């Protein structure tokens, strides 16, 4: 997963549609972010690395269908005649 930054607009004008004082999350090009920080347009508050902690999520009950073998006919399928073999 990609790391993203949490930024605050510190300049007197909007930065990429965010008003002065606003806090926003974004994946910015590192050099573009550094230039904006150097100009005083934004301030990096923190980096966030999204992650899932084991046990912190659950799949919906109907997410997975029952597993069948590749050569197993679905329930209710008709049988193939053995005549001619």
Could you tell me the residue ranges of all domains in the chain?
4-48
Confidence of residue 27 (pLDDT cuts 50, 70, 90): very high
Confidence of residue 32 (pLDDT cuts 50, 70, 90): very high
Q: Which run of H or E residues covers position 38?
A: helix 30-39
Specify whether the CB–CB gap between 2 and 51 falls below 8 A.
Answer: no
- Among 21, 29, 20, smallest CA distance to 2 is for 29
Token reading at 55:
């046990």
Q: 40-77, pLDDT tens digit by residue?
A: 999 999 999 888 777 777 777 777 766 656 666 667 77
Confidence of residue 3 (pLDDT cuts 50, 70, 90): confident
Residue 10 pLDDT exceeds 90: yes
Report the 10 Å Cβ neighbour count for 43: 14
């Amino acid at each position: 997963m990609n790391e993203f930054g949490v930024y605050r607009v510190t300049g007197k004008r909007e930065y990429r549609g965010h008003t002065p004082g606003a806090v926003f999350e974004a994946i910015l090009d590192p050099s573009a972010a550094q230039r904006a920080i150097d100009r005083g347009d934004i301030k990096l508050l923190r980096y966030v690395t999204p992650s899932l902690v084991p046990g912190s999520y659950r799949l919906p009950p109907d997410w997975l269908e029952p597993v069948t073998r590749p050569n197993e006919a679905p329930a209710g399928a008709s049988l193939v005649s053995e005549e001619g073999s």
